[in-house]
């Protein structure tokens, strides 16, 4: 279970550029729940993800992952609890290292790293098997540098990397946004498979309302640093993208001017 | 070029191979342009020379020199990581400070080691001529260093250091304390450079406070020559490239200075060095441009 309670994040406090990115967000995600998060640019999606990952330390409020208070922990300190796939395929993996070295790095996420060889025969075989499951033919390119792969291939490998070591939560940060539609669908299908097979507690930030409703158990909408919609169960099943837009308009009492929300 | 001059160049190349490996760690693995080496090389020479003259076992003296080098590197890393000084500037500050430190260590600009017992002394006089013994001895140490650094960089711990240099954000998301990796890597780099300095003092019979000038350029030249010759094909090849590059660099310098046609003299060394590094930097670019 992960929970954030009454999180406030202020950037540039006390300067003319002060910005309240999150304004009292509370959210509890049960174990094994798959939550999708949607919102327009500047709504606070990325900040919320950053607060969970440790990139952003909350100005006020409390963050709990499992039973541990991680509010003040940096990214590296809580990495053992948090698996993550980034929006930019270049951020989530090391281009200068080989595929198998990237996997070796991820397999020890959050653990002590010793002087033993990173790639023994056993680990090599394990990594090969896991990559072969992708059916992308990458299992024959394990020693290739990561930067020889396409963006979609890198995201697929990143998903495998995220599941090599245990975690309390999987964070997906618009991880299909940089891909072409075909590859985006492949990655989403793969995501669905991995999350349901491993019963991962997951938070997925997305720009697409379609994705937000089609995947996961629960959808949360952010606007202006606050949660404005939180649906799950039967009421979510009947929900259409159009309904979401209508609800959004009603709730905020304003016209929707963000085209990005309407696409997809 | 005479036989003695040739083996002298090989020997010097092997001594500077430690510098090349250190520079490779900082510049290539950690992506940290570290000029501390201009100070930590003579620091290693000074510490080793002073301790050997004081009667300390030369192996122990070399070990202490390495610790001194590591501490110098640590200062640079702390200035950069803890106090957010630009990495290049942080290393220049340490380098400048080390000039004074080295003078303090030696008490004078120059210490002679003639007739003192060095790490190499026990190997002289066993039938092999001295100018073979020295490169052979240093060569064995270089091979050990290459193997140790290679195994380290392919270990779990080494992988997190490589990730720190290649993609720090990703490294942190994998639980790597990137600050610690920079401390460790720059310390290790300068320990190797100081060991090079300690061996320089013992093979040449002196330590001099000015012997550090241009160390970084020489190290970088070796790394770049190695990369140009061997390409990017893994850690071990890259490390071997550093060693080969360092030796070839010395032979090239020796050839340039000893050819009568060019009319160069010893004082032209720095110019030739700069020219050689520039050529090594420009050549791969020209080749790539021609292919495109």
Q: Establish if B121 touches chain A: CB-CB under 8 angstroms.
A: no
Cβ atoms of residues B235 and B153 within 8 Å = yes
Contact A112, A170 (CB under 8 A): no
- Asked if the Cβ–Cβ distance from B173 to A119 is below 8 Å, we say no
Closest by Cα among B14, B46, B48, B23 to B190: B23
**pLDDT < 50 stretches in chain A:** 264
CATH number of the CATH domain containing A50: 3.40.50.300
How many Å separate Cα A162 from the centre of its chain? 10
Residue A61 within any structural domain of the chain: no
Residue A124 Cα, gap to closest chain B Cα (Å): 13
Percent of chain B with pLDDT over 90: 75
| Domain annotation covers residue A63 | no
Q: Which residue has the tokens 């990369």?
A: B227
| Contact criterion met (CB < 8 Å) for A118 and B156 | yes
| CB-based contacts of B59, cutoff 8 Å, min separation 6 | B119
Residue pair B63/B129 in contact (Cβ under 8 Å)? The answer is no
Length of chain A: 264
CA-based torsion, A174, A179, A184, A190: positive or negative: negative
Give the distance from residue A213's alpha carbon to the nearest chain B alpha carbon, in angstroms: 28
A vs B, Cβ pairs < 8 A, gives 88
pLDDT, tens only, A150-171? 999 999 999 999 999 989 999 9
pLDDT at B178 exceeding the cut of 60: yes
Q: Does the beta carbon of B152 lie under 8 angstroms from any beta carbon of chain A?
A: yes
pLDDT at A264: 45
Q: Which residues of A touch B166 (CB under 8 A)?
A: 94-97
C-alpha A230 chain-centroid distance: 18
Q: pLDDT tens digit string along A177-193?
A: 989 999 999 999 999 99
In a domain, A15, yes or no: no
Domain that holds residue A225: 27-55+71-257
Phi-psi region of B196 (alpha: psi -120 to 50; beta: other; left: phi over 0): alpha
Asked whether residue A8 is domain-assigned, the answer is no
Judge whether A9 lies within some domain: no
**Between vectors from CA B236 to CA B234 and to CA B239, what angle results, nearest 5°?**
110
Residue from A198, A218, A234 nearest A36 by CA: A218
Q: In this model, does residue B232 exceed pLDDT 80?
A: no
What is the C-alpha to C-alpha distance for residues B148 and B218, in angstroms, rounded to an integer? 22
B288: confidence class by pLDDT, cuts 50, 70, 90? low
φ, ψ for residue A33, nearest 5 deg:
-80, 145
| More confident site: B269 or B68 | B68
Q: Categorize the per-residue pLDDT at B292 as very low, low, confident or very high, splitting at 50, 70 and 90.
A: very low
Model confidence at B6: pLDDT above 60 = yes
Q: Domain for residue A263, yes or no? A: no
pLDDT, tens digit, for every residue of B30-56? 999 999 999 999 999 999 999 999 999
Tell me the pLDDT of chain B averaged across its residues: 92
Mean pLDDT of B138-147: 98
Q: Tell me how many domains chain A contains.
A: 1
Contact across the interface for A94 and B173, Cβ inside 8 Å = no
* Confidence at residue A251, expressed as pLDDT on a 0 to 100 scale: 60
Q: Which of residues 206-265 of B touch A (CB under 8 A)?
A: none
Cβ partners under 8 Å of residue B281, min gap 6: B224
User: Which residues, other chains included, contact A54 with Cβ-Cβ below 8 Å and sequence gap of 6+?
Assistant: A70, A73, A74, A75, A76, A77, A78, A79, A82
Rounded to the nearest 10°, the torsion over CA B40, B43, B47, B48 is 70
How buried is B99 (Cβ within 10 angstroms: 0-12 exposed, 13-18 middle, 19+ buried)?
middle
Q: Which of residues 67-86 of A touch B (CB under 8 A)?
A: 74-77, 79-80, 82, 84, 86
- Over range B12-18, report the average pLDDT: 97
Would you state the pLDDT for residue A105?
A: 96
Cβ atoms of A109 and A165 within 8 Å: the answer is yes
């Amino acid at each position: 279970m992960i929970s954030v309670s009454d999180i406030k994040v202020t950037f540039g406090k006390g300067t003319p550029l002060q910005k309240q990115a999150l304004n009292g967000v509370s959210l509890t995600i049960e174990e094994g729940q798959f939550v999708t998060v949607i919102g327009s640019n500047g709504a606070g999606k990325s900040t919320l993800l950053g607060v969970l990952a440790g990139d952003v330390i909350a100005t006020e409020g409390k963050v709990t992952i499992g039973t541990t208070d991680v509010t003040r922990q940096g990214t590296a300190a809580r990495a053992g609890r948090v698996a993550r796939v980034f929006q930019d395929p270049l951020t989530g993996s090391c281009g200068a290292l080989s595929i198998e070295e990237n996997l070796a790095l991820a397999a020890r996420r959050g653990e002590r790293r010793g002087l033993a060889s990173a790639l023994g025969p056993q680990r090599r075989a394990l990594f090969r098997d896991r990559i072969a499951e992708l059916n992308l033919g990458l299992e024959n390119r394990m020693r290739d540098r990561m930067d020889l792969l396409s963006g979609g291939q890198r995201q697929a490998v990143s998903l495998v990397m995220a599941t090599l070591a245990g975690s309390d939560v999987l964070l997906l940060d618009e991880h299909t946004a940089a891909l072409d539609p075909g590859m985006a669908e492949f990655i989403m299908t793969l995501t669905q498979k991995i999350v349901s097979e491993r019963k991962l507690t997951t938070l997925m930030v997305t720009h697409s309302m379609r994705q937000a409703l089609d995947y996961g158990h629960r959808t949360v909408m952010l606007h202006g640093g606050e949660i404005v919609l939180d649906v799950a169960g039967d009421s979510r099943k009947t929900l259409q993208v159009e309904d979401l837009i209508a609800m959004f308009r009603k709730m905020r009492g304003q016209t929707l001017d963000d085209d990005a929300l309407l696409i997809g | 070029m005479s036989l003695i001059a040739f083996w002298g160049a090989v020997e010097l190349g092997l001594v500077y191979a430690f510098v090349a490996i250190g520079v490779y760690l900082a510049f290539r693995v950690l992506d940290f342009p570290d000029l501390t080496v201009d100070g930590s090389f003579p620091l290693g020479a000074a510490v080793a020379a002073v301790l050997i003259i004081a009667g300390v076992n030369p192996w122990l003296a070399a070990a202490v020199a390495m610790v001194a080098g590591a501490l110098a590197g640590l200062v640079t890393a702390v200035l950069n990581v803890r106090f957010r000084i630009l990495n290049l500037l942080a290393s220049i500050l340490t380098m400048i400070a080390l000039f004074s430190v080295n003078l303090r260590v030696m008490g004078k600009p120059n210490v002679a080691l003639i007739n003192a017992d060095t790490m190499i002394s026990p190997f002289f006089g066993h039938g092999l001529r001295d100018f073979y013994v020295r490169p052979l001895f240093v060569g064995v140490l270089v091979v050990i260093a290459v193997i140790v650094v290679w195994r380290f960089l392919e270990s779990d711990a080494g992988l997190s250091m490589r990730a720190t240099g290649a993609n720090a954000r990703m490294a942190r998301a994998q639980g790597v304390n990137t600050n610690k990796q920079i401390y460790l890597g720059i310390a290790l780099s300068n320990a190797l450079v100081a060991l090079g300095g300690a061996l320089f003092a013992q093979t040449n019979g002196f330590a001099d406070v000015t012997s550090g000038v241009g160390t970084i350029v020489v190290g970088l030249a070796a790394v770049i020559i190695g990369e140009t010759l061997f390409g990017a094909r893994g850690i071990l090849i890259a490390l071997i490239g550093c060693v080969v590059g360092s030796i070839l660099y010395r032979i090239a310098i020796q050839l340039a200075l000893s050819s009568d046609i060019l009319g160069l003299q010893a004082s032209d060394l720095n110019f030739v060095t700069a020219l050689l590094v520039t050529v090594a930097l420009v050549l791969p670019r020209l080749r790539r441009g021609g292919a495109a």
